[in-house]
Amino acid sequence: MKIFTSLACFLLFSTYLIAQPRQELVEVIVSPNHPDWTYSIGEKAEFTVSVFKNNVALDDIEIEYKVQPDPGYRTLKIWDEGTRTLRNNSTKIKAKKFTEPGFLRCTASVEIDGKKYSSYTTVGFAPEKIQPTTTLPKDFEAFWEKGKEELNQVPMNAVLTLMPERCTDKVDVYHVKLDNIKGKIYGILTKPKKPGKYPAILHVPGAGIRPYYGEIDEAAEGFISFTIGIHGIPVNLDKSVYDDLARGALNGYQTFNLDDRDNAYYHRVYLGCVRAVDFIESVDGFNGEDIAVTGGSQGGALSIVTASLDDRIDYLAAFYPALSDMTGFLHGRAGGWPQIFVDEFSNKPEKIEVSKYYDVVNFARFLKVPGWYSWGYNDNVCPPASTYSAYNVVTAPKELHLFQKTQHWTYPEQQELRKKWLFAKLKE
| CB-neighbour burial class of residue 32 (10 A; exposed 0-12, middle 13-18, buried 19+) | buried
What residues contact residue 34 under an 8 Å CB cut-off, 6+ apart? 45, 123
The CB-based long-range contact list for 348-351 (8 Å cut-off, 24+ gap) reads 348/259, 350/259, 351/258, 351/259
CA neighbor of 185 nearest in space, from 225, 152, 233:
233
Q: Is 408 an annotated catalytic residue? A: yes
- Let me know: does 107 contact 65? Beta carbons within 8 Å: yes
Distances (CA, A) of 15 to 11, 119, 320: 6, 19, 13
The active-site residue, picked from 50, 297, 346, 389, is: 297
Other CB atoms within a 10 A radius of the CB of residue 398 amount to 16
Other CB atoms within a 10 A radius of the CB of residue 122 amount to 27
Local structure of residue 59 (DSSP, 8 states) = -
The active-site residue, picked from 175, 231, 267, 408, is: 408
Question: How far apart, in whole angstroms, are the C-alpha atoms of residue 378 and residue 101?
Answer: 16
**Residues composing the chain:** 428
The active-site residue, picked from 231, 355, 379, 386, is: 379
Q: Is 325 an annotated catalytic residue? A: no
Q: Is 379 an annotated catalytic residue? A: yes
Other CB atoms within a 10 A radius of the CB of residue 402 amount to 18
Strand, helix or coil for residue 350: helix
Strand 38-39 to 115-125 pairing: parallel
87 has which bridge partners? 90
Distances (CA, A) of 167 to 171, 210, 216, 339: 6, 21, 8, 40
Active site (catalytic) residues: 297, 379, 408
